[in-house]
């Protein structure tokens, strides 16, 4: 059996949390006086240290720590509604010999809570969180690290992503991407991906193999 590898983002791919983050960060941007419309759209896939440096670099350390602590408090009580069909799909891949990895901009603190509530940690052969990288999406570091963990080339990994920063991260690493239209409309994702899906309901191993083979041709 040939070895195949699938890498999954978390927010917007496994858990449909992007609407929760949109509301939180747009309200926070107004509260912090950033003056940036649709702030949440700009920062999707961004790790917290990069967000602090780019948008709060001119604020005091005390202010930045307040922003961080408020975000962590939000994440400690947030829900993790699953994207329809995702757990069954990942299990299907694993039953058919596909290596799986989780690649997220979230920190270990949040993800430990998600593992506990969703029972998903055992579904992945490797996990790359914000705590393991120094450069967040759209930098390709996270996807390159996940591929390295699995002794695979990024070009041989099929990535499932929803954000533009995440798609750029994966493609710059050398991977092909299936886009989830949970955060962006399909027409935005289509030019950047090999396929666009609304969720994982009803997907088969044949669907995965077709995308994988298409990705290998393009790689």
Residues 186-216 pLDDT 10s:
999 999 999 999 999 999 999 999 999 997 7
Q: What is the pLDDT of residue 25?
A: 95
Which residues are bridge partners to 82 per DSSP?
Answer: 15
pTM over 0.85: yes
The domain in which residue 56 lies consists of 18-75
Six token digits for residue 50: 């990069």
Are residues 127 and 50 part of one domain? no
**Of 50, 75, 100, which residue constitutes the final position of a domain?**
75
Provide mean pLDDT across the span 57-69.
Answer: 94
Same-domain pairing of 104 and 126: yes
User: What's the CATH code of the domain at 129?
Assistant: 3.40.50.1000
In a shared domain, residues 163 and 204: yes
Same domain, 166 and 127: yes
User: Are 102 and 159 within one domain?
Assistant: yes
Domain tally for the chain? 2
Boundary of a domain, candidates 60, 75, 90: 75
What does residue 210 show for φ and ψ, rounded to 5 degrees? -65, -45
Do residue 210 and residue 123 come from a single domain?
Answer: yes
Q: Which of 27, 47, 75 is the last residue of a domain?
A: 75
The pLDDT score that the predictor gives to residue 145 is: 98
Which helix (H) or strand (E) is 128 found in, with range? strand 126-128
Same domain, 187 and 128: yes
Q: Based on the domain organization, do 13 and 29 belong to the same domain?
A: no
What values do phi and psi take at 26, rounded to 5?
A: -65, -40
Please say whether the beta carbons of 9 and 166 come within 8 A: yes
């Amino acid at each position: 059996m040939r070895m195949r590898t699938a890498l999954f983002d978390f927010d917007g791919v496994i858990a449909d949390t992007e609407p929760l983050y949109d509301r939180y960060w747009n309200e926070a941007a107004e509260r912090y006086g950033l003056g940036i419309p649709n702030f949440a759209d700009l920062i999707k896939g961004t790790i917290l240290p990069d967000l602090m440096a780019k948008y709060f670099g001119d604020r005091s350390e005390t202010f930045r720590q307040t922003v961080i602590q408020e975000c962590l408090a939000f994440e400690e009580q947030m829900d993790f509604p699953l994207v329809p069909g995702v757990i069954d799909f990942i299990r299907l891949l694993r039953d058919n010999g596909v290596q799986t990895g989780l690649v997220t901009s979230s920190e270990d603190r949040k993800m430990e809570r998600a593992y506990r509530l969703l029972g998903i940690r055992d579904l992945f052969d490797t996990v790359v969180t914000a705590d393991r990288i120094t450069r967040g999406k759209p930098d390709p570091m996270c996807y390159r690290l996940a591929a390295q963990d699995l002794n695979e080339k990024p070009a041989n990994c099929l990535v499932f992503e929803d954000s533009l920063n995440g798609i750029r991260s994966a493609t710059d690493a050398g991977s092909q991407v299936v886009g989830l239209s949970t955060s962006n409309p399909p027409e935005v994702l289509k030019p950047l991906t090999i396929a666009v899906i609304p969720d994982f309901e009803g997907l088969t191993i044949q669907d995965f193999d077709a995308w994988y083979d298409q990705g290998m041709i393009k790689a």
